[in-house]
Amino acid sequence: MTDLDFGGKKVLVTGGAGFVGSNLTERAARCGARVRVLDDLFTGSLENIDPGVDYDFVEGSVTDEKLVSKLVKEADYVAHLAARNIIVSTKNPRSDYEVNIGGTLNVLMAAREHGIGQIVYTSSASIYGNPRIIPILEDERPHTFSPYSVSKLAGENYCHAFYETYGVPVTSVRYSNVYGPKQDPKNPYCGVIAKFIEAIDADLAPQLHGDGRQTRDFTYVEDAVDATLVALLSPKAEGMVFNIGTGIETAITELVTILTRLLGKNVTPEHIDRRDIDNIRRRVLSIELLRTRLRWQPQIGLEEGLKRTVQWHLGQK
């Protein structure tokens, strides 16, 4: 991981009790940041955050304009991760709009009013839809197939507008299928890897949508967090959009094969109907811009990342 030092600066992490947010909260605190978490605990949990980590917690939503303004005013940096995820957004587009777009606008308005060192807004590779070219570059034309991808792209556009119009120092990063410890399979909104591990460990058939040959760029959470914090601290990141991934394409069937081996099980996947959300055939991101501009590249390969994730899952039992 990159050697980072926040030197006692105050970092506000919205959504800091969620899966990625809690990992980021812990890492920032251990790198010398004075961390404050804002989370409404809709999908997050304070149990995600190591009790040995020193941080302040504020229960509330990014839709609360006055609260956001107060917290941003007191911060040096903001890592804005709070969002309704793709499953919640599909079920309730109104909530998606209010949190993902309205909440982001509240953060940017507060930053414009009070001034701030830097903001990182976490977006998603889902904005690309089915791309024309693989691997996907940041300038690929968006194809928004879900309310979630619409709202994430809208957040990016607001960030760009506030940077260009008001000089707000903001960076957008696009996550690709982040996985790892703290992605609890008991949470109905968790990602596919946690669900696969739970099923395989229980000698149940993991369910694959369609033929299972669709591909994704699976990113270990420590790498995603590391890249996010590098962008948060780097002046070279201001006004930019970066893919955060591995640049490696993995089929869902291959993912299941690795997990079955790591868990020492012998199960056969069950093929079910294709999903009505995130129905993308191929996805792998180019990370050349991140590598050349910020000198960052992932450190944890898929095999090692899955091994660590399986160990965490078994430890929870």
Helices in the chain by DSSP H: which ranges?
Answer: 19-30, 65-73, 86-91, 93-96, 103-114, 147-166, 192-201, 221-233, 252-263, 288-294, 302-316
pTM of the model: 0.95
Number of domains in the chain: 1
- Tokens (6 digits) for 43: 């999908």
The predicted structure's pLDDT at residue 118 = 97
Does 188 fall in a domain? no
Distances (CA, A) of 180 to 12, 170, 190, 220, 283: 23, 27, 11, 6, 19
Does 15 fall in a domain? yes
Q: What is the CATH number of the domain that holds 76?
A: 3.40.50.720
Does 106 fall in a domain? yes
Q: Render each residue's pLDDT in the chain as its tens digit; 317 residues.
A: 788 999 999 999 999 999 999 999 999 999 999 999 999 999 999 999 999 999 999 999 999 999 999 999 999 999 999 999 888 888 999 999 999 999 999 999 999 999 999 999 999 999 999 999 999 999 999 999 899 999 999 999 999 999 999 999 999 999 999 999 999 877 665 688 999 999 999 999 998 888 889 999 999 999 999 999 999 999 999 999 999 999 999 999 999 999 999 999 999 998 888 665 557 889 999 999 999 999 999 999 999 999 999 999 999 87
Does 298 fall in a domain? no
Does 50 fall in a domain? yes
Does 185 fall in a domain? no
Full domain range(s) for residue 49 = 10-176+219-245
Q: Which residue has the tokens 């030092």?
A: 5
Buried b (16+ CB within 10 A) or exposed e, 80-102: bbbbbbbbbbbeebebbbbbbbb
The predicted structure's pLDDT at residue 57 = 98
User: Is residue 148 flagged as an active site residue?
Assistant: yes
Does 300 fall in a domain? no
Does 160 fall in a domain? yes
Residue among 55, 121, 148, 158 flagged as catalytic: 148
